[in-house]
């Protein structure tokens, strides 16, 4: 009997192209359905979602939240620079503010900003070597999401420092520490899953890059 007399049932294999379009090789999955976390979010809603369900926003799905990731990283760098400036003010016993304090604060912020930019490109490069096709936008989105907590901790430390609460150093130190945690998580979860040595190397490389850039400045 010919194939014309035995047509396939309607709907057979019709959804396969859509399902395949949601993935980009052995890498990030794209949220093409428009549902779930990330669909039409405002920035406050995004921060609330990060607090309530961080695992959902830190999975391997690209949700089109790169702009929010950039905002988080930019805010973190500015807050780090501001915290260094405030630290100078809090430590001095003389009146007035020196321009050099502001310059040193900017340098301290850049000593983190430059390694962050480098490590994002390094993530993409290494992932591609492992045939894991993650885009740069993916790493900006995910690493930016991970930087929300460090930004909050550093932001809390600034007013505490101004009013003389000694616990400010706890929050500032925790904020900087969680930057390294973010680097480790990106390495261990995405670019080299279950490969602890690779994640440790990326984390140490980020730390030494920060220290070297700060020394050169």
In a domain, 96, yes or no: yes
195 occurs within a structural domain: yes
Give the model's pLDDT for residue 194: 81
Q: Is residue 14 part of a domain?
A: no
Quote the domain boundaries for residue 180: 66-216
Count the domains in the chain. 1
Question: Which of 29-38, 85-94, 122-131, 166-175 is the least confident region?
Answer: 29-38
Each residue's pLDDT tens digit, 68-124: 999 999 999 999 999 999 988 877 766 666 778 888 899 999 999 999 999 999 999
What's the pLDDT at 131? 82
Q: Is residue 98 part of a domain?
A: yes
Q: Is position 115 within any domain?
A: yes
Whether 46 is covered by a domain: the verdict is no
Determine, yes or no, domain membership for 23: no
Q: What is the pLDDT of residues 126-160, one digit of tens each?
A: 988 888 878 999 999 999 999 999 999 999 999 99
Contact 53, 77 (CB under 8 A): no
Residue 101 lies in a domain: yes
């Amino acid at each position: 009997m010919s194939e014309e007399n035995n047509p396939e049932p309607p709907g057979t294999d019709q959804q396969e192209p859509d399902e395949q379009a949601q993935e980009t090789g052995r890498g990030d999955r794209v949220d093409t359905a428009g549902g779930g976390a990330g669909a039409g979010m405002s920035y406050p809603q995004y921060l609330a979602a990060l607090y309530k369900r961080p695992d959902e926003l830190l999975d391997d799905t690209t949700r089109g939240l790169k702009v929010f990731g950039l905002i988080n990283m930019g805010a973190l760098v500015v807050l780090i620079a501001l915290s260094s400036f405030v630290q100078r003010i809090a430590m001095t016993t003389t009146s007035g503010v020196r321009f050099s304090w502001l310059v040193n604060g900017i340098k301290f912020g850049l000593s983190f900003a430059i390694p962050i930019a480098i490590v994002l490109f390094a993530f993409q490069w290494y992932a591609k070597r492992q045939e894991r096709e993650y885009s740069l936008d993916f790493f900006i989105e995910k690493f930016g999401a991970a930087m929300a907590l460090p930004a909050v901790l550093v932001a809390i430390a600034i007013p505490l420092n101004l009013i003389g609460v000694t616990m400010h150093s706890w929050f500032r130190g925790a904020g900087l520490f969680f930057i390294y945690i973010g680097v480790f998580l990106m390495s261990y979860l995405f670019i080299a899953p279950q490969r602890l040595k690779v994640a440790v190397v990326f984390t140490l490389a980020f730390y030494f890059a920060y220290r070297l850039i700060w020394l050169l400045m």
